[in-house]
Structure 1
Amino acid sequence: MTTQCAQESIYNLLPRLEEKPVKPPRYISTFRPSVKREAEKNKAQWKTMGPAKVAVPSPKNFLQKHSKEPKLPASKRFSKCAPKLPALSVPRRTDHPVMGIQSKKNFINTNAVAAITGLPKKPQPIYVDRRQGDKYLLETSGLVPKYIKKKDYGVTPKYVTRRNEEMKRAQKEYEAGILEHLKKRAMKRLSDEERRSLLQGLKKNWEEVYREFQGLSVEIDTIPKKIYKEKLETQMKQLEHDIEVIEKHKVIYIANE
Structure 2
Amino acid sequence: MSDIICPPESIYNLIPREEEKIIKSPRYMSKFSEQVKLQKDINKSSNKTMGPAQVDVPSTEKYLLKHSKEPKLPEKKSFQYEDVTCSKPPVPARTDKPLMGIHSNKNYIQSNAIENIMAVPKKQRPTYADTKKGDKQILENSGLVPKYIKKKDYGQTPEYLLQRRKEVKKAQQEYNNYVKDRMRDGAMKQLSDPERHKILQALKKNWDDLHHQYQGLSVVIDTTPKKYKKERLELEMKQLERDIELIERYKTIYIANY
Q: TM-score, normalised by structure 2?
A: 0.30
TM-score, structure 1 as length reference: 0.30
When Rg is computed on C-alpha atoms for both structures, the one with the higher figure is 1
